[in-house]
C-alpha cells in the first residue's frame, strides 16, 4: 500500500510514520509537510537520510502543489495529520487555523476527486465535542460537533467537510477523533513536554486556573495503532473515537510528572485561566473496540515514564 501522509513531520505524524515502517515494512510512504514551527524533519532525520520514505515540502493549502504531488505519486490513501492544533494559538490568531484546518482539508479532498485518489482519512480530535462537564457524561460518535474555541470549530468543520465528500461524491472517507496525545517528538508548547522541560531546568510550571480541567490522555503509539486499524478495516463514511479511558485533572497530571522526576511541587504556578477553557473532555470508544478489535495497550504510568526518559535524553 502507498500512503501519502500530510503533516508527517509533526508530532503525531512522525510517530505514525515510524509505527508504519516498523509494522508494515512493505508499505510505501510519501511524507508531505509545510515545516511550520510544529513540523521538523529532525523528527524523521534518520528515516529520510536512509531513504526509507519520500519527503516533500509543501503546504496543503497550495492546490497546485498538492495536485502535482498526487499526480506524480498516486497514493492509495491520504492520511491527513496536517493542522494547526494549539488552542491558545487559535485564540490569538484564528485565521491561520481557518486556512489550514478547513481550506487545506478542502484542497486535499477536491484533489482526491480530480485525480482519482479513492481514499481519504482525516485525523481529528475530541475537542470537537466541546465540554463534558457533567460527571458521568461521555460522547460517542453521534454527539454533535460544538465549537468551544477556534481550533475545535475548525476541526469540526473539517470533519463535516470530509463527511460531505463521502455523502455527495462517494469518496471513501474515514475520520478518527482522538483524546489528548503525549509521547516523543511533541512540541514544547504542549502541556506534558512543557512540564518536563520546565522541571528539568527548575523553572516555574504554569497551570491555568486551579488545574481542575480534566482530559483523557493517550500514548501516541496507541493512537497510531488505532489509525492503522481504521485505514485497514474501517468502513467508508464512518467516524471512530479513540480513547484510552484515562481521565485525569491537569493538576494531578503535573504532580504525577513531578513525582516521577523527583521534582518539588513548588514549581507549580497558577495563572489566569484561558478564554473559553473547557472543564472536561470525555469520549467512549466502543465502536473501534467492538467493530475493529482495537484497544489501547500502553499503561499510563509506564508510557509517561517512557516519555519523560525520551525528553531527558533528547
Per-residue pLDDT, averaged over 60-64, amounts to: 98
Question: What's the pTM?
Answer: 0.96
Structural domain for 47, as ranges: 2-185+217-245+277-298
**In the structure, what pLDDT confidence band is assigned to residue 36 with cuts at 50, 70 and 90?**
confident
Mean pLDDT of the chain: 95
Segment of 83-87, 128-132, 173-177 carrying the highest mean pLDDT:
173-177
| Least confidently predicted of 46-50, 244-248, 271-275 | 271-275
Residue 160 lies in a domain: yes
154 in a domain, yes or no? yes
Question: How many domains does the chain divide into?
Answer: 1
Are β-strands 247-249 and 214-219 bridged in parallel, bridged antiparallel, or unpaired?
A: antiparallel
- pLDDT band with cut points at 50, 70 and 90 for residue 20: very high
| pLDDT value of residue 25 | 96
User: In the prediction, which pLDDT does 134 show?
Assistant: 75
CA atoms within 13 A on the CB side of 271: 11
Residue 108 lies in a domain: yes
Task: For residue 98, give the CATH number of its domain.
Answer: 3.40.50.720
Q: What is the dihedral of CA 209, 187, 89, 69, to 10 degrees?
A: -150
- How high is the pLDDT of residue 244? 94
For residue 238, report the phi and psi dihedrals to the nearest 5 degrees: -95, 155
Output the pLDDT for position 262.
Answer: 97
Query: Is residue 145 a part of any domain in this protein?
Result: yes
Residue 270: inside a domain: no
- Taking the C-alpha atoms of residue 112 and residue 76, their distance in angstroms, rounded to an integer, is 10
| Span 130-148, average pLDDT | 90
The answer to the question of residue 112 being in a domain is: yes
| Mean pLDDT, range 28-41, rounded to an integer | 92
Q: Is residue 88 part of a domain?
A: yes
pLDDT score at 74: 98
What are the cell numbers at 156?
469540526
Cβ contacts of residue 189 below 8 Å, gap of 6+?
86, 88, 89
Q: Would 252 be classed as within a structural domain?
A: no
Catalytic (active-site) positions: 126-127, 151
| pLDDT > 90: percent of the chain | 89
Q: Give the whole-angstrom CA distance, residue 41 versus residue 77.
A: 22
pLDDT at 131: 92
Helices (H), 177-261: 191-200, 220-233, 250-260
Judge whether residue 135 has pLDDT over 80.
no
Question: What pLDDT does 14 receive?
Answer: 97
Q: What is the C-alpha to C-alpha distance for residues 160 and 32, in angstroms, rounded to an integer?
A: 23
181-240, pLDDT tens digit by residue? 999 999 988 999 999 999 999 999 999 999 999 999 999 999 999 999 999 999 999 999
Which of the four pLDDT bands, split at 50, 70 and 90, describes residue 160? Answer: very high
The cell numbers describing 148, all together, are 468551544
Amino acid at each position: 500500500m502507498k500512503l501519502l501522509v500530510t503533516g508527517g513531520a509533526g508530532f503525531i505524524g512522525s510517530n505514525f510514520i515510524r509505527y508504519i515502517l516498523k509494522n508494515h515494512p512493505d508499505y510505501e510512504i510519501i511524507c508531505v509537510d509545510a515545516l511550520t514551527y510544529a513540523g521538523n524533519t529532525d523528527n524523521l532525520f534518520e528515516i529520510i537520510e536512509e531513504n526509507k520514505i519520500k519527503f516533500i515540502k509543501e503546504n496543503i493549502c497550495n492546490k497546485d502543489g498538492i495536485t502535482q504531488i498526487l499526480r506524480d505519486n498516486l497514493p492509495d490513501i491520504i492520511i491527513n495529520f496536517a493542522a494547526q492544533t494549539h488552542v491558545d494559538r487559535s485564540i490569538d490568531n484564528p485565521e491561520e487555523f481557518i486556512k489550514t484546518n478547513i481550506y487545506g482539508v478542502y484542497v486535499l479532498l477536491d484533489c482526491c476527486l480530480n485525480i482519482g485518489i479513492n481514499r481519504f482519512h482525516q485525523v481529528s480530535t475530541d475537542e470537537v465535542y466541546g465540554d463534558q462537564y457533567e460527571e458521568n457524561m461521555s460522547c460517542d460518535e453521534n454527539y454533535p460537533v460544538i465549537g468551544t474555541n477556534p481550533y475545535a470549530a475548525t476541526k469540526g468543520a473539517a470533519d463535516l467537510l470530509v463527511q460531505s465528500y463521502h455523502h455527495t461524491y462517494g469518496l471513501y472517507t474515514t475520520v478518527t477523533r482522538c483524546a489528548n496525545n503525549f509521547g516523543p517528538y511533541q512540541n514544547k508548547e504542549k502541556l506534558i513536554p512543557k512540564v518536563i522541560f520546565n522541571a528539568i531546568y527548575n523553572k516555574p510550571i504554569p497551570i491555568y486556573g486551579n488545574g481542575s480541567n480534566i482530559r483523557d490522555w493517550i500514548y501516541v503509539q496507541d493512537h497510531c495503532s488505532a489509525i492503522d486499524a481504521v485505514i485497514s478495516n474501517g468502513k467508508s463514511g464512518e467516524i471512530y473515537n479513540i480513547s484510552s479511558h484515562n481521565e485525569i485533572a491537569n493538576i494531578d497530571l503535573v504532580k504525577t510528572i513531578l513525582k516521577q522526576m523527583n521534582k518539588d511541587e513548588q514549581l507549580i504556578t497558577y495563572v489566569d485561566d484561558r478564554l473559553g477553557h473547557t472543564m472536561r473532555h470525555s469520549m467512549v470508544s466502543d465502536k473501534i473496540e467492538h467493530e475493529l478489535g482495537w484497544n489501547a495497550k500502553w499503561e499510563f504510568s509506564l508510557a509517561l515514564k517512557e516519555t519523560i526518559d525520551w525528553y531527558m535524553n533528547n
